[in-house]
Amino acid sequence: MTSPVILRLRHHGKLGDGAADALLSCRKRNRLVEPGQCLMRQAEEMNALFWIESGWAMRHRNLANGRRQILNLLLPGDICDLQGLIHTRADHSVTAMTPVMLCEVDAGRFLDLLHNDGQLAASLLWSVVQEEGILREHIVRIGRRSARIRLAHLLLELVRRQALGGGPSDGLIEIALTREVMADCLGLTPVHISRTLSELRRDGLVTLEPQGRLRISDIDALARHADYDTRYLHLARPDHVLDRAGGAQA
């Protein structure tokens, strides 16, 4: 069984077994983090370089007034943080949402690899580009879309991204998300998420499964409904959920 990191990087394009093995050979040790525990704390020195083997985590900022904004969710196969390579302080925290198995990387060996394997370096650069794309999409979502569309977009993104790391691709979100988590992602309140989700359920777009997990009933239908386009994920195979020529914009 291969690591979700490799699965994810293969969505960029060709990544030979040699490059994959080389990357895996940088592993230093695994570490298990319990839900609610920090993988990285705001204002702390960043040193560790790691990826997520299993479990979900979140990047977030806590504000002086007690509010919280979730910047991004981290799924199996996501790398956190290439930025750790330069000496700087974290401007946000990362907290486990489920039990998270981390794979810590030996920075020295990793840097050697970057130098010597151009294909691998390109794939890792791609993962940075994808992460930036995800951040930008999040800005658009929060800045210019209604609560209903925001929520639909978030769910669609999560379903897509979990598939990239080897998770389910049938519309089921593999972990239970609380209303509060969705609210803090989307800049809304849990109460309003509750109402909005009820609407989506009423309209048959989303269903609630055992253990509080959500399922998108028909991914294509919801994507069409919500003007969702996966181009920002920069996947190699052009399998946009929606592949309308030209899409939305000027």
Partner DNA sequence: CGCAGACTTGAAAATACTCAATAAATGTGG
Partner DNA sequence: CCACATTTATTGAGTATTTTCAAGTCTGCG
CA angle 88, 137, 174 (to 5 degrees): 90
Stretch that binds DNA, among 37-45, 82-90, 92-100, 186-194 (CB under 7 A): 186-194
CA distance linking residue 28 with residue 17, whole number of Å: 20
Find the shortest distance in angstroms from Cβ 52 to DNA. Answer: 21
Q: List the one residue from 14, 29, 136, 224 that touches a second copy (CB under 8 A).
A: 136
Positions 145 through 184 that interact with a second copy (CB under 8 A):
none
Choosing among DNA, a second copy, none, which partner's interface includes residue 69 (Cβ < 5 to 8 Å by kind)? a second copy
CA distance linking residue 6 with residue 57, whole number of Å: 19
Positions 152 through 181 that interact with DNA (CB under 7 A):
176-180
Contact 216, 206 (CB under 8 A): yes
Positions 94 through 123 that interact with a second copy (CB under 8 A):
115, 122
Choosing among a second copy, DNA, none, which partner's interface includes residue 222 (Cβ < 5 to 8 Å by kind)? none
Find the shortest distance in angstroms from Cβ 232 to a second copy. Answer: 4
Contact 173, 155 (CB under 8 A): yes
- Interaction of residue 215 with DNA, rule CB under 7 A: no
Q: List the one residue from 85, 111, 125, 191 that touches DNA (CB under 7 A).
A: 191
Q: Which is nearer to DNA, 36 or 238 (CB)?
A: 36
Q: List the one residue from 49, 77, 232, 241 that touches a second copy (CB under 8 A).
A: 232
Neighbouring-strand partners of residue 69 = 61
- Interaction of residue 70 with DNA, rule CB under 7 A: no
Q: Which is nearer to DNA, 82 or 149 (CB)?
A: 149
Choosing among a second copy, DNA, none, which partner's interface includes residue 148 (Cβ < 5 to 8 Å by kind)? DNA
Stretch that binds a second copy, among 22-30, 79-87, 193-201, 208-216 (CB under 8 A): 79-87
Longest Cα separation, the chain:
54
Q: List the one residue from 159, 175, 197, 216 that touches DNA (CB under 7 A).
A: 197
Q: Which two tokens stand for residue 93?
A: 């925290």
CA distance linking residue 32 with residue 102, whole number of Å: 6
Alpha helices in the chain (DSSP H): 4-9, 17-24, 107-116, 118-144, 147-164, 179-186, 190-202, 219-225
Residue located via tokens 């993104």: 157
Smallest Cα–Cα separation from 158: which of 79, 225, 216? 216
Q: What is the DSSP letter of 172?
A: B
Q: List the one residue from 208, 221, 224, 243 that touches DNA (CB under 7 A).
A: 208
